[in-house]
Structure 1
Amino acid sequence: MAAGRGFADEHDPRRLIESKTLYEGRIWNVVSDTFSLTGDDGDVLVRDYISHPGAVAIVALDDQGRVLLLKQYRQPAGMSLWEVPAGLLDIEGEDFVAAAARELAEEADLTAGRWDVLVDFFNSPGSSSEAIRIYLAREIAEVPEDQRHTRTEEEAEIEHLWVDLEEAAAAVMEGRVHNPSAVAGILAAAHAARSGFTGLRPGDAPWPEHPSQRSHRTAAEAGR
């Protein structure tokens, strides 16, 4: 099959027979779905995965063409990673751009006057429903000191570093940066910069792939 410019991932729900929660966590749950690929009851599969609220991440770019990186410790990896500001979409009904602005202020003490969408992706679609949107934030300004968020726990150790965008992209390609949002966001921003950031989607562009934007049939409805 020859690739064309029109190819794209597509919404393709299969018949849900049963969905149950196996584990309830503080932030995400583990669920088990029983479903049919073909609609035939004889072709039934079971898949367990993390039910995740999704997240936003921000490539903050200053007027010198530098991207802001944060150094933060991550227990599952056992490493301190260079990342971009990011956070969970764990406030029900919160606008996606508002969530990104909140995270930029909380983690980086910054505001942005312009927001564009860089890239959308699923972090691990075979094992999690986590959808991530990465924004490009420009027209950067500092949050006044008396209005800054008090960072606690791992966030209290955050270090900030402004890095030239092409240097950051080189660090990704050399295997020195591993956080998925940083990898995807930096490379997307470096690509977009070569065309002067033309053609980027606006910050309020639809995000139909996020679970909150998709309609889900109940197991009972699916069984009809």
Structure 2
Amino acid sequence: MANKEKYLSGQVVYQGPIFAVEKQQVSLSDGTQVQRDVILHQPSVAILAFIDDDHILIERQWRATIQDFTWEIPAGKVDQRDQDNLRQAAIRELNEELRLEAQKLVPALTFYQAVGFSDAQLTLFTAEQLSPVAQEAILPRDQGESLDILTISFDELSQWFAQGKINDQKTLLAFLYWANLRKG
């Protein structure tokens, strides 16, 4: 039977603009005390942006962490501009990254991204009935954010999935969600 650990104390040993690292002391069920290093992260959102039932928008961008480009669905962290509102963050990210707004924006699922060492949680939204944001309402992209945007069909994305061309976790999960929706 799995046992619960007891949180004893914590100390933030690093605080950055995107995440913090907390050194935690916990007590195991047998009384042994151990240290856990936990990355604390703001909640994030990702958007499965539908052009129609058979096409979505994805973006190609450079990721310094892996020193390579990735194809991803639009996403970003919830910040002070959103007042801790997931829906508002999704609206903002659609504007910033795709320059679009959605008449229909629905939360689909929420998941933890790396429970072994982080509390990072992401909510996937579906966005439909897309239209361009008015020129005067366009929000600036994050500093250094450079994107190639592609409309891709379900069949093309299925091929990418089979070939291992999708290596971003949120995009993999969004594809599987979309595939499940299509089973209908």
Task: Answer yes or no: same fold by TM over 0.5.
Answer: yes
**Structure 2 counterpart of 1:102:** 92
**Structure 2 counterpart of 1:182:** 171
Instruction: Describe the superposition over 1:192-216 as per-residue Cα deviations: whole angstroms up to 9, x where unpaired.
Output: 1221xxxxxxxxxxxxxxxxxxxxx
More strand by share: 2
Matches within 5 A, 1:114-153: 114-151=104-141, 153=143
**Structure 2 counterpart of 1:169:** 158
Matched, 1:55 2:55: no
| CA spacing shift, 1:14–1:145, aligned 2, 3 Å | same
TM-score, scaled to structure 1: 0.75
- Give the Cα–Cα distance (whole angstroms) in 1 for the partners of residues 106 and 178 of structure 2: 11
- Give the Cα–Cα distance (whole angstroms) in 1 for the partners of residues 4 and 42 of structure 2: 19
What SS does structure 1 have at the residue aligned with 2:129?
Answer: strand
| CA spacing shift, 1:111–1:174, aligned 2, 3 Å | same
- Give the Cα–Cα distance (whole angstroms) in 2 for the partners of residues 17 and 66 of structure 1: 49
**Structure 2 counterpart of 1:204:** none
> 1:188, CA displacement in angstroms?
0.7
Counterpart of 1:65 (choices 54, 63, 66) is 54
What SS does structure 1 have at the residue aligned with 2:116?
Answer: coil
> 1:98, CA displacement in angstroms?
1.2
Judge conservation of contact 1:118–1:185 (CA < 8 Å) in 2. no
> 1:13, CA displacement in angstroms?
6.5
Instruction: Describe the superposition over 1:170-221 as per-residue Cα deviations: whole angstroms up to 9, x where unpaired.
Output: 31232101111111112211211221xxxxxxxxxxxxxxxxxxxxxxxxxx
**Structure 2 counterpart of 1:31:** 22
Instruction: Describe the superposition over 1:76-129 as per-residue Cα deviations: whole angstroms up to 9, x where unpaired.
Output: 110111111100012273321111111111110011111223332211111111
Judge conservation of contact 2:78–2:85 (CA < 8 Å) in 1. no
Instruction: Describe the superposition over 1:131-151 as per-residue Cα deviations: whole angstroms up to 9, x where unpaired.
Output: 011111111111123322233
- Residue 22 of structure 2 aligns with an amino acid whose one-letter code is V
- Give the Cα–Cα distance (whole angstroms) in 2 for the partners of residues 115 and 98 of structure 1: 10
Unaligned runs of 5+ in 1: 1-11, 196-224
- Give the Cα–Cα distance (whole angstroms) in 1 for the partners of residues 91 and 4 of structure 2: 32
Unaligned runs of 5+ in 2: none
TM-score, scaled to structure 2: 0.90
What SS does structure 1 have at the residue aligned with 2:7?
Answer: strand
| Matched positions, count | 181
Judge conservation of contact 2:60–2:70 (CA < 8 Å) in 1. yes
- Residue 177 of structure 1 aligns with an amino acid whose one-letter code is I
- Name the % identity: 26
Counterpart of 2:83 (choices 90, 93, 109) is 93
